[in-house]
Amino acid sequence: MTDTTTGNDPHRTDVRDYLRHGLATLAYRGGKALRDAPKDFGSFRVGEASRTPSQILAHVCDLLDWWLSLVRGRQAWHNSTPGLWNDDVKRFHDTLRVLDAELAERDSSAYEWTRVFQGPIADALTHVGQLAMLRRLAGGAVRGENYFQADIAVGRVGADQSAPRREFD
């Protein structure tokens, strides 16, 4: 698969820019769901068979590691054990930074970017939504937002994100 090129058309983008924007979106939405979580949120459980937020976050980090392995051309999966909440939040952002740098540097023809999107990207976004829902159930709701208006920028994947532009009550 070959990259598309931007040329002079501002509406066309390189696949890497698209994937990096997806990563920045994950950082923004994920950061919002993780930031200022209630005490003991990581161990919150809605039912005996449900995953805790810590288990979900560890899985999201595993998805990011998998994505990184796909970009590097050697698919590898690892199930990690959840750590301390703050350590796993740091792992989330650290892995986003490494992945963003790899996406910026590597030729996207080295991996099937459509499969990367339908696999780890879509799965990670789904789990971030689960974390946001669990925040509400745990008594620490994350305010809804018009994400179309959010200031999400390629390369901004750390814990420091822009302030929401239009949140809902």
Domains of the chain, residue spans: 51-157
CA distance 151 to 95: 21
- Closest to 92 in 3D by CA, of 19, 161, 159: 159
Looking at every residue in the chain, the average pLDDT score rounds to 90
Per the structure block, which two tokens stand in for 76? 């590898």
Long-range contact pairs involving 92-95 (C-beta distance under 8 Å, separation at least 24):
92/30, 92/34, 92/57, 92/60, 92/61, 92/64, 93/27, 93/31, 93/157, 93/158, 93/159, 95/61, 95/64, 95/65, 95/68
Higher pLDDT, 22 or 111: 22
Q: Which amino acid is at 120?
A: P
Contacts of 2 (CB under 8 A, 6+ apart): 109
Q: Where does the pLDDT of residue 6 fall: very low under 50, low under 70, confident under 90, or very high at 90 and above?
A: very low
pLDDT band at 13 (very low <50, low <70, confident <90, very high): low
Q: What pLDDT is recorded for position 2?
A: 40
38-97 tens-digit pLDDT: 999 999 999 999 999 999 999 999 999 999 999 998 999 999 999 999 999 999 999 999
pLDDT of amino acid 1: 39
- How far separated are the first and last CA of the chain, in Å rounded? 44
Contacts of 105 (CB under 8 A, 6+ apart): none
Cα 2 to chain centroid, rounded: 25
Q: Lowest mean pLDDT: which of 3-7, 44-48, 121-125?
A: 3-7
User: Which of these ranges, 12-16, 98-102, 116-120, has the smallest mean pLDDT?
Assistant: 12-16
Q: How confident is the model at residue 167 (pLDDT cuts 50, 70, 90)?
A: confident
- What are 106's two structure tokens? 């590597």
